[in-house]
């Protein structure tokens, strides 16, 4: 199976819409980036599930995850749309399963449904969710994964957990007719995080895809753990999509990296920017991603800078990197 690529659209979380004043113009810049990615052959576009900007909360636009997911699946015609990832603490899991099933129908089977335990304390507190300890967030996440998967695949489920309970919720339609595959006839369930004892076990039990971070050695280690969990529950490891997220800034051959990234990094030093973004030519980025592919990655989700204003990064990636994986 060929390695696939997705890309985040600018939704404001990373302060990537601030140069556009009109909120409607900001939304259209996000949508236009998705349309361009679709035209260039990206398999999917992605959004974050956050309410406040990073690296610190500011009074700038951040579009809400599931509202724009619903909008994007109608604005786009071929590309899939995913969330990396929905925060479990922000929505009741039974409601979220119903929302996902509805959006999957809206998309004619192009939804990628991502879920994670959540981490951004400031916005949890600001929106009145509290901020439970890590163990509590993980355990409620475990319950949510089971509820959601069962609502995608079963009828009349009853679940009485420590954090959630459901009593025969009706979820119809569960998906568009052409969602997923014969084995998983629903929106693919992407579980984010690399926790070895809980999260990767949840992927083996309930997930259709995982998303983990790290260098090639770390990725190889995480996938080995996932395979062991799959063996333990009798799951076919090869049916699980293995993805990772990489922040990338492409530069032309012979360009000075510090000068080429100046506009994107603003007041940040090049060293600081390059610490969180892979800066390089198409050939260099291809080599970097090939090492991750060799470690087991078969789906790359990329964040590219300034695509709200200029689609050149999308074009450079689609034309200079993606063909090397087909």
pLDDT digits (tens, 9 = 90+) for 181-230: 555 579 999 999 999 999 999 999 999 999 999 999 999 999 999 999 99
Residue 65 and residue 320: Cα distance in Å, rounded?
A: 30
Contact 240, 208 (CB under 8 A): yes
pTM of the model: 0.95
The residues, ordered by sequence, that sit 6+ positions from 266 with a Cβ below 8 Å of its Cβ are: none
Average predicted confidence (pLDDT) for the chain: 96
Residue 15 has pLDDT above 70, yes or no: yes
pLDDT at 179: 59
* Residue keyed to tokens 């012979």: 254
pLDDT at 1: 67
Give phi and psi for 15, each to the nearest 5. Answer: 60, 35
Q: What is the mean pLDDT of residues 258-275?
A: 95
6-31: burial string, b at 16+ Cβ within 10 Å, e else:
bbbbbbbbbbbbeebeeeeebbebbb
Q: For residue 246, what are the β-bridge partners?
A: 302
DSSP sequence for 210-228: EE--S-HHHHHHHHHHHHH
Confidence of residue 180 (pLDDT cuts 50, 70, 90): low
Domain at 4-325, CATH homologous superfamily: Luciferase-like domain (3.20.20.30)
Residue 216 and residue 61: Cα distance in Å, rounded?
A: 35
Residue 263 has pLDDT above 90, yes or no: yes
Phi-psi label, residue 123: left if phi above 0, alpha if psi -120 to 50, beta otherwise = alpha
């Amino acid at each position: 199976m060929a390695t696939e690529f997705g890309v985040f659209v600018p939704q404001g979380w990373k302060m990537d819409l601030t140069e556009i004043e009109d909120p409607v113009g900001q939304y259209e810049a996000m949508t236009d980036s998705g349309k361009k990615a679709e035209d260039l052959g990206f398999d999917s576009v992605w959004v974050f599930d956050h309410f406040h900007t990073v690296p610190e909360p500011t009074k700038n636009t951040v579009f809400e995850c599931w509202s724009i997911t619903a909008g994007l699946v109608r604005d786009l015609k071929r590309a899939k749309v995913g969330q990396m990832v929905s925060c479990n603490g922000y929505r009741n899991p039974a409601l979220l399963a119903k929302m996902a099933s509805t959006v999957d129908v809206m998309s004619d089977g192009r939804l990628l449904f991502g879920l994670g335990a959540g981490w951004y304390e400031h916005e949890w507190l600001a929106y009145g969710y509290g901020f439970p300890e890590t163990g509590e967030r993980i355990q409620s996440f475990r319950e949510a994964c089971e509820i959601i998967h069962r609502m995608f695949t079963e009828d009349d489920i009853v679940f009485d957990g420590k954090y959630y309970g459901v009593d025969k919720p009706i979820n119809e339609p569960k998906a568009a007719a052409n969602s997923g595959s014969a084995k998983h006839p629903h929106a693919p369930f992407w579980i984010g995080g690399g926790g070895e004892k809980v999260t990767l076990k949840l992927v083996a039990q309930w997930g259709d895809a995982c998303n983990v971070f790290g260098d090639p050695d770390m990725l190889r280690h995480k996938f080995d753990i996932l395979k062991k969990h799959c063996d333990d529950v009798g799951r076919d490891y090869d049916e699980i999509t293995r993805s990772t997220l990489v922040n990338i800034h492409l530069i032309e051959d012979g360009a000075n990296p510090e000068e080429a990234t100046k506009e994107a990094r603003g007041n940040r030093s090049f060293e600081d920017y390059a610490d969180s973004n892979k800066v390089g030519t198409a050939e260099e980025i291809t080599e970097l991603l090939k090492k991750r592919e060799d470690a087991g990655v078969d789906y790359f989700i990329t964040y590219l800078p300034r695509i709200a204003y200029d689609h050149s990064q999308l074009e450079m990636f689609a034309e200079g990197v993606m063909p090397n994986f087909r």
